[in-house]
């Protein structure tokens, strides 16, 4: 069984698969290798993170603007200001927790024995 797993043909097949996945991940031309096509219509992970962070930032800016308007004496209900501040705080805390979990997972992967 082990001889079959480490045969030169099997090793070459695994290397070819790894190279094709690497090419797809890096976006290099020639990513289409024997039936493998690049994913179309899928959102990039970086785009999802950027979008989530921009929404959190937008929530914080809105909260800050509402608080400043209330401080200037504009006609804004105090409950709306407090609710906006709580939403902003909750969004920031959730983002912070996600960041901490991602960093912890990254550290765990780095510390794995090879």
Q: Can you tell me the distance from the alpha carbon of 2 to that of 51, in angstroms, rounded to the nearest whole number?
A: 47
The per-residue pLDDT for range 50-100, each reduced to its tens digit, is 999 999 999 999 999 999 999 999 999 999 999 999 999 999 999 999 999
- At 3, the pLDDT band (50, 70, 90 cuts) reads very low
**C-alpha separations of 80 from 13, 58, 59, 65, 86 in Å:** 61, 16, 13, 12, 10
Sign of CA dihedral 9, 14, 18, 24: positive
Q: Tell me, what DSSP letter sits at residue 74? A: -
The per-residue pLDDT for range 96-108, each reduced to its tens digit, is 999 999 999 999 9
Q: Which residue has the tokens 């991940």?
A: 25
pTM of the predicted structure, to 2 decimals: 0.58
Strand segments (E) across 1-114: none
């Amino acid at each position: 069984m082990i001889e079959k797993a480490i045969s030169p043909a099997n090793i070459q097949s695994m290397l070819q698969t790894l190279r094709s996945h690497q090419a797809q991940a890096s976006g290099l031309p020639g990513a289409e290798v024997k039936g493998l096509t690049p994913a179309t219509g899928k959102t990039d992970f970086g785009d999802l993170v950027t979008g989530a962070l921009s929404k959190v930032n937008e929530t914080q800016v809105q909260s800050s603007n509402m608080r400043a308007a209330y401080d200037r004496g504009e006609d804004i209900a105090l409950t709306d200001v407090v609710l906006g501040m709580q939403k902003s705080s909750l969004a920031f805390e959730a983002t912070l927790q996600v960041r901490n979990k991602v960093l912890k997972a990254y550290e765990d992967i780095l510390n794995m024995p090879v």
